[in-house]
Amino acid sequence: MAPSVAELAAINNGADKVAAAKESLKQKEESQIVDAPQPGAAYPFYLPHFDVTEKFLPTEIFEHSDAGLRANPAKPNLLNSNTTLHHLSPYLGTEITGVQISQLSKEGLDELALYAGERKVLIFRDQDFKDIGPDRQIEIARHFGPIQKHPTSGNAKGYPEFHVVYRDATHDRFKEYLGDDRVNRTSWHSDVSYEKQPPSTTFFFILDQPDTGGDTLFLSQVEAYRRLSPEFQKRLEGLRAVHSAVAQADASRRRGGPVRREPVESEHPLVRVHPVTGEKALYINPGFTRRIVGFKHEESEYLLRFLYDHLTKGADFQIRASYRPGTVVVWDNRVTVHSAIVDFDSTFRRHAVRLTPQAEVPIPA
Residue 129 beta carbon to Fe ion: minimum distance, rounded to whole angstroms: 18
Residue 256 beta carbon to Fe ion: minimum distance, rounded to whole angstroms: 23
Q: Which of residues 198-227 bind Fe ion (CB under 5 A)?
A: none
Beta carbon nearer to Fe ion, 66 or 191: 191
Beta carbon nearer to Fe ion, 71 or 192: 192
Beta carbon nearer to Fe ion, 300 or 339: 339
Beta carbon nearer to Fe ion, 191 or 208: 191
Beta carbon nearer to Fe ion, 79 or 321: 321
Beta carbon nearer to Fe ion, 191 or 332: 191
Instruction: Find the Cα–Cα–Cα–Cα dihedral 111, 112, 113, 114, rounded to 10°.
Output: 50
Residue 73 beta carbon to Fe ion: minimum distance, rounded to whole angstroms: 29
Binding track, positions 178-197, relative to Fe ion; x by CB under 5 A: -------------x------
How many angstroms separate the CA atoms of 271 and 116, rounded? 19
Beta carbon nearer to Fe ion, 252 or 300: 252
Nearest residue (beta carbon) to Fe ion: 191
110 binds Fe ion (CB under 5 A): no
Binding track, positions 139-178, relative to Fe ion; x by CB under 5 A: ----------------------------------------
Q: Is the dihedral of CA 112, 115, 116, 117 positive or negative?
A: positive
From 98, 102, 103, select the one nearest 126 (Cα to Cα).
Answer: 98
Task: Return contacts of 277-281, CB within 8 angstroms, 24+ apart.
Answer: 277/68, 277/117, 277/118, 279/222, 279/335, 280/222, 280/225, 280/365, 281/220, 281/221, 281/222, 281/224, 281/225, 281/334, 281/335
Binding track, positions 274-313, relative to Fe ion; x by CB under 5 A: ----------------------------------------
Residue 83 beta carbon to Fe ion: minimum distance, rounded to whole angstroms: 27
Residue 173 beta carbon to Fe ion: minimum distance, rounded to whole angstroms: 12
Residue 268 beta carbon to Fe ion: minimum distance, rounded to whole angstroms: 17
Q: Which amino acid appears at position 361 of this protein?
A: V
Residues in binding contact with Fe ion, number by CB under 5 A? 1
From 215, 224, 230, select the one nearest 324 (Cα to Cα).
Answer: 215
Beta carbon nearer to Fe ion, 191 or 279: 191
- A 10 A CB-CB count for 59 gives 16
Residue 31 beta carbon to Fe ion: minimum distance, rounded to whole angstroms: 25
Q: Is the dihedral of CA 60, 63, 66, 71 positive or negative?
A: negative
Residue 189 beta carbon to Fe ion: minimum distance, rounded to whole angstroms: 6
Instruction: Specify the 3-state DSSP secondary structure of 139.
Output: helix
Residue 165 beta carbon to Fe ion: minimum distance, rounded to whole angstroms: 8
Beta carbon nearer to Fe ion, 248 or 266: 248
Is residue 208 within a helix (H) or strand (E), and if so which, with residue range? strand 201-208
Contacts of 112 (CB under 8 A, 6+ apart): 67, 78, 101, 104, 122, 201, 330
Instruction: Specify the 3-state DSSP secondary structure of 161.
Output: coil
Burial class (CB in 10 A: 0-12, 13-18, 19+), 41: middle
Chain residues that interact with Fe ion, rule: CB under 5 A: 191
